[in-house]
Each structure stands twice: as structure tokens, then as C-alpha cells.
Amino acid sequence: MRLLKQLGAVVAVALVGGLGVAAAAGNALLTLALGTATAVLAVLTYGWVVRRTEQRATVEVALTGASAAVGRGMLIGFGMFAVVLGSIALFGGYRIAGLGSPAGMVTLVGVMAAAAVTEELIFRGILFRIVEQRVGTWNALFLTGLLFGLVHLFNPNASLWSSVAIAIEAGGMLAAAYAATRTLWVPIGLHFGWNFAQAGLFGTAVSGKSEPAGLLEGVISGPAVVSGGEFGPEASLFAVLAGAGLTIVFMWLARRRGEVVPARRASSAGTAVRLPK
């Protein structure tokens, strides 16, 4: 029941906020304001419902150190995408056609902030965290990563391969980031940095969706296995390899810090949440 109550509260904020952001399309400042408000309200709602249903402090969204953690995550997300897009460009799959729209870039800050925060609260803050308590870290990483990929199967231009790619490079990697740090701020920053770099800076599709024009007008071409095709760079083999590599690094850190919950002990893990690293 606590899972359903938590999901219901945060999903409601995500849906209402998403409708508001969509309705404000074309107005950069209003979209930015509504996207930011959705992100803030989602975090507040998550903290409120988790405190009520689990009777504990929500250290995973504690404000202390939040800015630094988000910043670290954003740097990782930007860096990861830069490596992926650079690899795609090296094989002739990406080129810059010209300048995009500064207003569109501002719009995308709001859009991506709302999406990154609500998705991380739902998939890592609620689903991964609660499932991990029952079946252990590795099983939870696999199950919630698979679910994250399946949800993206309904996106425009999606395919079975693109969903598998999302499950590995995002679903698994972001869950591993949470497992290693025990704070949601790092995966939130990473998620935002990755998405914003795609559309807001380099002008490519995000998970199959053609977002408003960002800072640059990018053109993707060539074999889909290299460029990701119409789905965007997330369906590129380079993105999958980068995400898998970061997953390994994060899980190594989680194991080194003693944050991996073994499956045989998961049932006795209770609702305890360790302090962020």
C-alpha cells in the first residue's frame, strides 16, 4: 500500500505538471516557470508522502548537499553525452546544420527539469528503493531498468531495440547511481544533464521525441546502430556502451561502500535508508 500511495501522489503531480508544461509550449519563460514548479512540487510531495507512509526522514532528498550532488550528476550527464555524440560524429552520424533557438533552449530547461525530477522520484525513489528492500540491489536494478525501458516503448519512433537500449543506459545506470550514493540528487542531475545536452544544446531527439529547437540545430544520419536513427542518440550502440560502463562504475562504488543489498538479506532490510555518500 505504501508503494501505491507514494506512486499515486507523485504521479499525480507529474501528470498535472506535464499538462501545464505542454499547454505553455511556445512561451519560454512560462514553460521554464511551470517546469521548475513541477520539479519542486514533486520533491515536496515525495518527501511528504514518504514521511507519512514510512515514518522516517527522507534523507535521499535532503537539502544539505543537494546543489553539489545535482551539479556532479549534471557534469556526468553532460560528459557522457559529449562522449556518445562525439563518437557518433566521428563515424559521420552527426553534424551541426546551424544555430537553433535560445528561447527554445530556455524552454527545454523547464521541460527537462520536470521530466528528470518526476521520473527519478517515481522510478528510483519509489520503485527501485522499495523493490530493492524485497529482492536486493541487483534484482531491483534489473527489474526497474526493464520497466523503464518498456515504458519508453510507447514513445514516437521507438522499437524493441530502443527500449532495450533505454533499459541499459538509463534504467540500469540511474538506479546504480542511486545505489552508489543513496541520494536522488545525483541521478536527477545526471538525468537532466543527459536530456538537456541532447535537445537543449546539440539539437537531437530525446527518446524519440522531437523537442523544441535548442541552442544548435543538429542532424542525425547514417546507420541507426551508430546514430540511433529517428529515435535519437539514445538508440545508438555508443550510448548503450557508455551507460553500461557507468553502471559498472557506480555498482563498483556501491559495493565498495557497502551499499549493495544482497537478495538473501533484502527481506530483512526494512525501510531503512542509508545516509547519502
What pLDDT digit, counting tens, does each position of 154-195 carry? Answer: 999 999 999 999 999 999 999 999 999 999 999 999 999 999
Write the CA distances from 80 to 221, 235, 241, integer angstroms: 20, 14, 10
Radius of gyration of the chain from its Cα atoms, rounded to whole angstroms:
18
Q: What single-letter DSSP state applies at residue 59?
A: G
Q: pLDDT digits over 197-223, tens only?
A: 999 999 998 988 877 778 899 999 999
pTM exceeding the 0.85 threshold for the entire prediction:
yes
pLDDT digits (tens, 9 = 90+) for 3-61: 999 999 999 999 999 999 999 988 999 999 999 999 999 999 999 999 999 999 999 99
Place of cell 516557470: 33
For residue 271, the model assigns a pLDDT of: 46
CB 189 within 8 A of CB 69: yes
What is the CB neighbour count within 10 angstroms for residue 99? 12
Residue 209: its pLDDT value, please? 84
pLDDT at 242 over 80: yes
CB 146 within 8 A of CB 167: yes
